[in-house]
Structure formats: C-alpha cells, structure tokens
Amino acid sequence: MVNLVKVGNEKDFGKVAAYIVSSLVQTSPRCVLGLATGGTPVGLYKELIEIYNQGVITFEKVKTYNLDEYVGLPSDHPASYRTFMNQHLFNHIDILPENTHVPNGQADDLDQECKRYDEMLSEAVIDLQVLGIGHNGHIGFNEPDDQLTPGTHVVELLPQTREANARYFNSIDEVPQRAITMGVGTIMKARQILLMVRGADKAEIIHRALTGPITTLCPASLLQLHPNVTVLMDAEAGRLF
C-alpha cells in the first residue's frame, strides 16, 4: 500500500521525513535503518541531527545499512557514499561506527563483498528503508533492465546515472562506471519504506512509477507491491498527482 504525502516547502520536506524516522528510533531504539544518499535526503539528516541534539532520541543501539557505494573510490574520497554518510549524519550523532554499514566498493573480491553484505542483511530485517529515485526510476543503483537482481550485486551504471551524479565529481570522467547496490529483493523486504522525491525533474518518473505498469524497466514501480510505503513529495515532484 502506498501513502502519498505532499509538503509545500523544503524545510517541511526534511522535517516530515525526520519525524517519521525519529518516531521509529524513539519507539524502537534497537531499530535497523536502511539509508540512502544523494541530494534528496540531505534535509532529513539535517533535521534528524537537530532532533538528536534536543536529546529526544539516541542512536546508541541503532544499526544502519546503506543502499549502495561506488566501486573503486577510496572510502575517504569526497564523493564516496561512506564519506557522505559520515559528513551528513554519522559524525553528528551517537551511533557506534561498527553499527553503520556501507558496502565496501574497494574490496578486492567484489562478489565476496556482495555476499558478505547480504549475509549481514539476512540477519537484520530493515525496519525502515529510506529511498530516493533516479530520473530513470532506479532505486539504490538498481538500474532499469529486462531483469532485476534480488540481492546485493555489482551494477554497470547507465550513462544518464553517471551524468546525474557528475555534480559530485570534478568531471564526468571521474564518476565510477560501476557500483555495489542492495538488490530490489532486500529493499522490498523492509518493513516500511520512505521514498523521498523532490523537484520538478522527478515529477514524471514518480508518477510513472506509482501509477504506471509494474515493470523491471522502472525499478521503483515494484514499490506498488509493497505493503507499507510512504512517498514524501514536494509540490513540484508531486504536481502530476
């Protein structure tokens, strides 16, 4: 079941998302969060830090699993997703470093790394998965294709995905060709999903994902089958609803 929530401005977008996440952390201090990167959840993490600073919640027993990571970037590279998470959230809260998980895109054996990530995930059901959506309907880095992979795997990034993410690098040539991503099977197993969508350029894809056919050619369309999805949209992204 998909619940649509539209908010009017940027501040509320982050606040509403942070309310959903912090309510869970408050009522289930040992919860497992699935986290996302990209421009969209930045406001969520900012508001979450504010709520944490008010002393209302603690992350001491929370575990997190990130959706994805580039292959080949050092973990301290400014554009790595590990750096993103440290800078935007982990460095500012009381979460234990060993409880934060991001796939290791520098592993010598990437298949082994995918297996390791899946084994950890199989022991920890994700209570709440935060998601963004790519312009082509990807979730995590699960790109549109004739078939999708359920578990963690290595993906070849599509040119438009590399272009969309080039803003975090000096040039498009620096954007890695590959990434490790959680699979759609794992995402769909999360108890609850919070899909965050912002901006006019996402209006068409989110409309297609939620009202069009369920197809691997639009991975986010699979979310129509999930029992508990909240789609948080700003006015521009939600203009077709």
Smallest separation (angstroms) from ligand GLP to the CB of 28: 24
- Asked if 159 touches ligand GLP (CB under 6 A), the answer is no
- Whether 135 sits among the annotated catalytic residues: the reply is no
CB 43 within 8 A of CB 73: no
Smallest separation (angstroms) from ligand GLP to the CB of 58: 26
33-41, 89-97, 111-119, 227-235 -> range binding ligand GLP (CB under 6 A) = 33-41
Using CB under 6 A, pick the residue from 67, 73, 121, 175 that binds ligand GLP.
67
Smallest separation (angstroms) from ligand GLP to the CB of 144: 12
Smallest separation (angstroms) from ligand GLP to the CB of 54: 26
> Taking CB under 6 A as the criterion, which residues in 91-130 touch ligand GLP?
none
Phi-psi domain of 161 (left: phi exceeds 0; alpha: psi -120 through 50; beta: other): alpha
Nearer to ligand GLP among residue 57 and residue 82 (C-beta) = 82
Written as six digits, the tokens of 16 are 């509403």
Name 143's Cβ contacts closer than 8 Å, sequence gap at least 6: 134, 136, 155, 156, 157, 158, 161, 219
- Asked if 140 touches ligand GLP (CB under 6 A), the answer is yes
Q: Which strand (E) or helix (H) includes residue 65?
A: strand 63-66
Q: Which strand (E) or helix (H) includes residue 113?
A: helix 110-122
Nearer to ligand GLP among residue 38 and residue 57 (C-beta) = 38
Which residue in 138, 142, 226, 234 is the catalytic one? 138
Taken in order 28, 190, 67, 164, the sign of the CA dihedral is negative
CB 180 within 8 A of CB 110: yes
Nearer to ligand GLP among residue 134 and residue 238 (C-beta) = 134
The label of the residue with tokens 């998470």 reads 85
For binding to ligand GLP (CB under 6 A), which residues are involved?
Answer: 36-40, 67-68, 132-134, 140-141, 161, 165
Active-site residue list: 68, 136, 138, 143
